[in-house]
């Protein structure tokens, strides 16, 4: 089972392609791309499943400036996640959504440092020089895949 994990951002998105068929996920490839680029990456990588991180909440705009800026960033990221999910649908790929709190809980990691350690430990062939967006995308892939498998077992 090949899973493409995507960590969307307001402008660019990290992605990681993992082979989940063995006892440990295997790192196949990863990079960063734009929304338009994801329309190319998805069919080029031909995943069995696409996992997309979606924001768990968007902060209201009636808050102080710093919180409004964060809310605008979350809203833009949410829009990009929706575009990616729409592209998956249009291209005929099964996609699942997962929020950051859920996939981080699956990995047992909360900070960038603990995520880096968890991905290096969990994923066979993880490069030492992967960036935070690629590692987050790998975490999205692992967390969404595990949740997807649990749901399939419950309904299956």
Q: Give me the domains of the chain, ranges plus CATH numbers.
A: 2-155 (3.30.420.10)
- Report the residue count for the chain: 156
User: What mean pLDDT comes out for the span 130-145?
Assistant: 94
Distances (CA, A) of 136 to 6, 78, 123, 151: 8, 16, 12, 22
Which has more confidence, 63 or 152?
Answer: 152
Between CA 151 and CA 144 the distance in angstroms is: 10
Give residue 68's pLDDT band: very low, low, confident or very high (50, 70, 90): low
57, pLDDT greater than 90: no
109, pLDDT greater than 70: yes
Give the percent of the chain with pLDDT over 90. Answer: 63
Between CA 41 and CA 132 the distance in angstroms is: 19
Which has more confidence, 61 or 125?
Answer: 125
Give residue 78's pLDDT band: very low, low, confident or very high (50, 70, 90): confident
pTM of the model: 0.88
Token digits of residue 77: 């990221």
Strand pairing partners for 32? 14
Chain segment 84-103, per-residue pLDDT in tens = 999 999 999 999 999 999 99
Give residue 63's pLDDT band: very low, low, confident or very high (50, 70, 90): low
Q: Quote the mean pLDDT of the chain.
A: 88
User: What mean pLDDT comes out for the span 31-60?
Assistant: 86
Chain segment 12-33, per-residue pLDDT in tens = 999 999 999 999 999 999 999 9
Q: Cα angle vertex 25, ends 23, 31, to 5°? A: 170
Between CA 74 and CA 98 the distance in angstroms is: 15
């Amino acid at each position: 089972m090949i899973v493409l994990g995507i960590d969307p951002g307001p402008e660019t998105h990290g992605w990681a392609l993992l082979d989940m068929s063995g006892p440990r996920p295997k790192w196949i490839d990863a990079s960063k791309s734009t929304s338009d680029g994801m329309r190319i990456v998805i069919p080029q990588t031909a995943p069995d499943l696409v996992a997309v991180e979606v924001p768990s909440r968007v902060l209201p705009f009636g808050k102080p400036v710093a919180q409004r800026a964060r809310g605008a960033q979350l809203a833009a990221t949410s829009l990009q996640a929706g575009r990616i999910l729409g592209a998956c649908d249009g291209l005929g790929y099964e996609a699942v959504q997962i929020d950051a709190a859920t996939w981080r809980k699956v990995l047992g990691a909360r900070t960038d440092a603990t995520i880096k350690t968890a991905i290096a430990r969990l994923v066979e062939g993880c490069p030492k020089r992967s960036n935070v967006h690629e590692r987050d995308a790998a975490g999205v892939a692992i967390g969404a895949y595990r949740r997807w498998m649990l749901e399939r077992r419950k309904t299956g």
